[in-house]
Structure formats: structure tokens, C-alpha cells
Amino acid sequence: MGGNAPGACPGWAGCASIGLTAFQAMALQLGDTVPNFTQDSQLGPINLYDFAGDSWVVLFSHPADFTPVCTTELGEVARLRPEWEKRNVKTLALSVDRADSHKGWIEDINETQCTLVDYPILADEDRSVSDLYGMIHPNSLSNLTVRSVFIIDPQKKLRLQITYPASTGRNFDEILRVIDSLQLTDHHQVATPVNWKDGDDCVVVPSIPTEEARTRFPKGVTEVRPYLRLTPQPNR
């Protein structure tokens, strides 16, 4: 395991190799450049930055191999492959078990979930990535990883993180919805309202005056209140 993240903070570059002693309190926050790492997987060593390239990445952790909820989750991520590709997203799972254990588990996932797991599952036996990303919550699961999800953009910035309890399987439709929102709002001056789905109306950001918004969004602007303006999704 080797960490070599760029940026002004020298801590990320060395924290993986020194056991995090001075860095365990440095929780990742939205907008941070995520730390790089290299870790084994059932497909061979994975360097996060090389793996990501110019794509978005969904990194998600699991308590252990051969567990029921995890089996359904990894199968669902595999089934959603066309949706990830449509959004230029790569998926990367993590468990603290060995790579050869992953291979046996994948056979079970493919058979029971009627799919084909073709993405890497990190074999984080030394828990270096788990510690680096704060995936181990001792008061919840002792030395096992909780169900963490990280959305990382092509600039290696953390855009979303969600932590689920071990008893609750993740909703990957929601992860796709968030990616749709992020990719839309990165390029248009809108925000997405409650329960928004791709194709729904969007909110005009408060920094744009209404008259300017009517010019900027030719599909129309509905002023519900001066601070609440809706417009059809600009890229549809």
C-alpha cells in the first residue's frame, strides 16, 4: 500500500505509509482532493488515480466477503453497468478480506444475482485504505468496514460521502441520481430540488436575478417566490 496524493497538504502523501498516527483526525470533507492509494484486488493491484483516469469513481466498502446484504449490493452494481458507463463512472468496491476470497465470492454473486461482476474489489487486508478513508467505525463494527460510499469526480475531488449501517443495503438508484445532479449542476447554474430525477424541473440558483434567468434559460422560468424559481432541465 502506498499513498501519493498531490496537493498542498503533505499529510495525505505519507499518511498511508506511516499508519495514520498523525492523521486519523483528518476526516475527508466534500471538495477535498481524495488521497491516492495502491491496493491489491482480485484483478491485481489498483492505483486509484490511474484507475480513475478522467472518469468519475464510486468507491464503496463492505464489512466482509460472503455476507448476504453485500452479495445483493455487488450484484446490483454489476447489473447497473450500462448506467455507470452512460455517466462515465467506474465502480470500485472494498472489503478487508483477501483477493482469493473475493474470487470465490464473485462466483457466488454471479450465480445468485444472475449477473457478472467485472469491476475490482479491493483486498484491504491491512486496512490501509479503510483507515485512510475513515471506513472503520469501531463503535459500530469493531475492525470491519461499514457501508461507506464515496463519489469522486474526474478532478479527484470528493463530491459525496454516505455511511450506511451494516444492516441496511444501499440504494444505488440514489447514487445514480446524485451523479446526474452533480454532472448537471457542474455545467449549468441550477440546483436540483427534493426528489429530483433526470428530466425534472430544476431550481435557478439564487445568485442569478430573475430577469437574467429568463434570458439564460430560454425554456422558461416560473417564479414561485423571488428566491424560488423553477426552470426546465437545461440540458434536456
- Model confidence at 141: pLDDT above 70: no
First to last CA, the chain: 43
The phi, psi pair for 152, rounded to 5°, reads: -120, 130
Q: Which amino acid is at 164?
A: Y
**Radius of gyration of the chain, Cα coordinates, nearest whole angstrom:** 20
Mean confidence (pLDDT) of the chain: 88
Q: Between 98 and 3, whose confidence is greater?
A: 98
In a domain, 122, yes or no: yes
CB of 38 within 8 A of CB of 17? no
- pLDDT level of residue 5 (50, 70, 90 thresholds): very low
- Model confidence at 101: pLDDT above 70: yes
- pLDDT level of residue 63 (50, 70, 90 thresholds): confident
Q: Which residue has the cell 424541473?
A: 201
Q: Which of 15, 70, 114, 202 is catalytic?
A: 70
- Residue partners of 121: CB distance under 8 A and separation at least 6: 41, 42, 74, 93, 94, 95, 102, 106
* Four-CA torsion 126, 132, 133, 137, nearest 10 degrees: 60
Considering 169, 202, 221, which residue would you say is the last residue of a domain?
Answer: 169
Question: Is residue 70 flagged as an active site residue?
Answer: yes
> 1-10, 36-45, 67-76: which has the minimum mean pLDDT?
1-10
The per-residue pLDDT for 6 is: 38
Q: What is the pLDDT of residues 213-229, one digit of tens each?
A: 999 999 999 999 999 99
Q: What is the CATH number of the domain that holds 224?
A: 3.30.1020.10
**Same-domain check for residues 75 and 133:** yes
Identify each DSSP E strand in the chain by its residue range. 38-39, 46-47, 56-61, 89-95, 121-123, 147-152, 158-164, 190-191, 202-204, 222-225, 228-231
- Residue partners of 206: CB distance under 8 A and separation at least 6: 227
In a domain, 29, yes or no: yes
**Same-domain check for residues 70 and 139:** yes
Residue range(s) defining the domain that contains residue 71: 11-169
The per-residue pLDDT for 111 is: 97
Nearest CA among 208, 212, 181 for reference residue 194: 181
- pLDDT level of residue 7 (50, 70, 90 thresholds): very low
